């Protein structure tokens, strides 16, 4: 069963976020992950306070977790944290 990582975020540092965003796709390949959708989000109910959303899809929950915890992705976390306020969820 596919698993999804949803990311809600608001950019805070354009330069660091650009580096992070350009580097993430190559970290997904080994785990068969891919972007399903990325862009501004419209809140239909409630308010998360975030401006943007990304949904990543992986073949399994184990692959999604392995990607998130991988050394390759974790090396990008300082750029992520400096470039945006975010919230990540794993579903599936």
pLDDT in tens, the chain (92 residues): 999 999 999 999 999 999 999 999 999 999 999 999 999 988 888 888 899 999 999 999 999 999 999 999 999 999 999 999 999 999 99
Check residue 49 and give its pLDDT. 87
pLDDT of residue 43: 85
β partners of residue 24: none
Query: What's the pLDDT score for residue 11?
Result: 96
Half-sphere exposure of 51 (CA within 13 A, CB side): 5
**Which is nearest to 63 in space by CA: 76, 73, 52?**
73
Q: Which tokens is 5 given?
A: 């990582």
- Please name the CATH architecture into which domain 3-91 falls: 2-Layer Sandwich (3.30)
Task: Quote the pLDDT of residue 10.
Answer: 96
Alpha-carbon span 87 to 83, nearest angstrom = 13
Domains in the chain: boundaries = 3-91
Residue 3: count other Cβ atoms within 10 Å of its Cβ.
19
């Amino acid at each position: 069963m596919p698993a999804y990582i949803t990311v809600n975020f608001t950019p805070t540092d354009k330069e660091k976020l650009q580096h992070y965003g350009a580097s993430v796709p190559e970290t997904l390949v080994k785990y068969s992950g891919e972007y399903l959708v990325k862009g501004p989000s419209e809140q239909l109910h409630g308010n998360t306070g975030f401006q943007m959303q990304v949904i990543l899809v992986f073949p399994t929950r184990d692959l999604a977790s392995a990607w998130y915890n991988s050394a390759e992705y974790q090396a990008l976390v300082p750029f992520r944290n400096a470039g945006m306020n975010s919230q990540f969820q794993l579903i599936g």
